[in-house]
Amino acid sequence: MIVRNDDVKLEDLGKGVSRKILAQVSNIMMVEVSFAKGSIGEIHSHVHEQISYILKGSFELNIDGKKEIVKTGDTYYIKPNALHGVLALEDATILDVFTPRREDFLK
Question: Is residue 62 a contact partner of residue 84, using CB atoms and an 8 Å limit?
Answer: yes
Count of beta carbons in the 10 Å neighbourhood of residue 51: 14
pTM value is 0.93
In this prediction, residue 87 carries a pLDDT of: 99
Domains of the chain, with CATH numbers? 21-106 (2.60.120.10)
Q: How confident is the model at residue 18 (pLDDT cuts 50, 70, 90)?
A: very high
Nearest to 11 by CA among 22, 24, 25, 2: 22
> Mapping DSSP to helix (H, G, I), strand (E, B) and coil, where does residue 9 land?
coil
Q: What is the pLDDT of residues 54-80, one digit of tens each?
A: 999 999 999 999 999 999 999 999 999
DSSP labels for 40-73? EEEEE--SSEEEEEEEESEEEEEETTEEEEEETT
